[in-house]
Amino acid sequence: MKQKSIWKTSMMIIGIIGVIAGAYYGYYSLKTGGKMEKSDGGPAATETVAQFKDDGQVNGYNSVGDFIDHFHKEYNNSLGWGGIDSVDWPEQKEIAEEILDVIAEVETDHPALQQDLEQIQGYAQAVESGSKEKQTLLKLHRYFHDLDVEFNGYRETRDYYDVTEYKRKN
């Protein structure tokens, strides 16, 4: 009798685990359109929308998508979760300098993406030249965030600022 009770309890636990795992998979499948993790290219990035001059690596970035992803994370880490309230301006100046170095090596014939890169370049130049406007940093962060969504297929958030001109083809 005791063995039958243990068997029933075990089966119930396995069933509950199965339901939880199914719910988890279903939730993330709906949330990400069937992709369980961030795409490393997304539909637009697989096209040759933008590349580095000479098709090479720039400052350790293998692609324009890598560059966008890196600076999205960089701004999440340095400005997110209240970081905007205690900005390390020398660090932000270094970040802006690296952005400018890399952007100088990007080639694109896509007018909307070119416009976004020019906006990023302008904001980065302001920070590099000593501007300490938090709004400029917020705009840089939002451009990299939305480009990561549009260019790389980033889907780990519901936030979207709609600041970029570049949009993925559906």
- Strand-pair category, 106-108 with 50-52: antiparallel
Q: How large is the angle between the packed helices 111-128 and 134-152, nearest 10 degrees?
A: 150
Q: Which of 44-53, 80-89, 115-124, 129-138 comes out lowest in average pLDDT?
A: 44-53
Q: What is the number of alpha carbons within 13 Å of residue 145 lying toward its C-beta?
A: 19
pTM: 0.72
What pLDDT is stored for residue 14 in this prediction?
A: 74
Ramachandran bin of 114, using left for φ above 0, alpha for ψ from -120 to 50, beta for the remaining angles: alpha
> Does residue 19 carry a pLDDT above 70?
no
Tell which wins on pLDDT, 75 or 46: 75
Using DSSP's 3-state secondary structure scheme, residue 89 falls into: helix
Conformational region of residue 154, where left means phi above 0, alpha means psi within -120 to 50, and beta covers everything else: beta
- pLDDT tens digits for range 30-41: 443 333 333 444
Q: Which of 155, 57, 140 lies closest to 92, judged by CA?
A: 140
